[in-house]
Amino acid sequence: MLRSKYQMFADSLSENVFKTKTQANPIMLVVLAYLLLIVIGTALLSLPQAASRPISLIEAFFTAMSAVCVTGLSVVDIPSTFTHTGLWIIVVLMQFGGLGIMTASTTLILLAGMHPGFSHQSVFLSEFTQEGNIDAGRILRAIIPFTFGLELIGGTVYFTQFESMEMYDRVFCSIFQAVSSFCGVGFTLFPDSLVSFQYNPIMNITTCILVLAGGFGFLAIAELRYLFDFKHKEVRRLSLHTRIATYGTFIVIGVSILVFAFTEHSNLFSGHTFSENAQSVLFMAFTSRTAGLNSVNIPDLTQASLFFFIIIMFIGANPGSCGGGIKITTAAVIGLLGFNRLLGREKTQVMGRTIPNSTIDKAIRIFVVAIVVIGTATLILLNTEIPSGSRYAADSGPFLKILFEVVSAYATCGLSMGLTEELSTVGKIVICIVMFIGRMGPLFLISAVAGKLQDTAYYAEEDIMVG
């Protein structure tokens, strides 16, 4: 009887909270949830117990925004500014931001024995899969153990490398670094990021694995996990999404290795052994797309390397992951579109399949929005961060520095050439907006595409000259 009453209450609560009678915009729920978490994080980081010195509201807000948006840019020195209480708050913000608000809320709903409404579930699925017929609970049961299990393994390995620390600091630093690496945030408790571990193979390999897993995409990982059917002793066929995500990821990493080896062979890698250089180039290739962790001093890199950093940060990670950028699959679709058009094909084809026009439209919209946001933010910062009438007005140096910062913020990467701490108040606000758009951008586009399209086509055609 009690169970029946509880179930009736749970069903009623689920229906009232998660199902709306009117057509609500589910994307707005995600946006508001992220904003609420950022506001709560800002308030908590502003508490006297959270910081070792008084910090301004904009500093607390920037740190919370960077943690929730899994970016890693910071206007303060994280380990010296925040107490252990503040650092634990940052860990929680990173974890919630990495997995996503919808994951956490759906977990609580399932644990309470309730079922999410259709709009809530559709938003959750849009973050982790391109199909709409997959059970959210099944996805959660795959995501949560995988995430915490991998972070636990990574934290254990990190623990073995922090022997010089006191026990509490050693445990906490291991947890902090594991969460930061997997979620691709880029925060560390070391003043030089991971430069002091540049030639530590255990640290490098562990970090690369965590970053790769966190940015690979949960759907692709789930498919690869069950690639081999042990019952029938056969290899299952992977979806086109997983194949493109997998091939694209390792193509980007492979090209990055070659480019960094070429651009830094007479600069960063000069005078070092092959083993040391291999560790440095592999670390950059694996982490530079979305993690924000660095084992080399970024400003010391060549202009060619910095420009290539901008390109791969812009591309980013895979959909449904902790990473940002326009996503590897988006870049692949745009590249395949151009390749097929060059061959005179009307359809975009790859691996014996034709990519739907709706997917191509989404990819183009994502690309266009990214270019507009990055271009606008860069133009604003060029006016706010360079003193009027200074010698920098005719110098191209600050342009690369500012563009690097903006792309890093949009791609939620977190790498910087040292501009972040020098930003003006306006510059900090602009970067916060870019970080938030970079984290939310795909959801806005899904919302726009999901809406009913009005038939406003004009049937009178007229050609124009192009090219």
SS3 annotation, 195-206: HHHCCCHHHHHH
Which one-letter amino acid corresponds to residue 423? Answer: L
Residue-level pLDDT at 250: 93
Burial 83-108 (b: 16+ CB within 10 A, else e): eeebbbbbbbbbbbbbbbbbbbbbbe
| pLDDT averaged over every residue in the chain | 82
- Beta strand pairing call for 353-355 and 348-350: antiparallel
- The predicted model scores a pTM of 0.84
Please tell me the distance from the alpha carbon of residue 324 to that of residue 321, in angstroms, as a whole number.
8
Please tell me the distance from the alpha carbon of residue 380 to that of residue 396, in angstroms, as a whole number.
16
Residue-level pLDDT at 139: 67
Residue-level pLDDT at 14: 45
The CATH number of the structural domain formed by 1-134 is 1.10.287
Residue-level pLDDT at 3: 47
Residues of the chain with CATH 1.10.287: 1-134, 325-449
Among positive and negative, which fits the CA dihedral 213, 214, 215, 219? Answer: positive
Residue-level pLDDT at 467: 65
* Residue pLDDT, tens place only, 196-252: 898 999 999 999 999 999 888 877 887 787 777 667 777 778 888 888 999 999 999
Residue-level pLDDT at 63: 95
List, for the chain, all residue ranges whose pLDDT scores fall below the cut of 50: 1-7, 9-10, 12-24, 389-395, 445, 448-449, 452-453
CATH architecture for segment(s) 325-449 = Orthogonal Bundle (1.10)
Residue-level pLDDT at 108: 55
Residue-level pLDDT at 248: 93
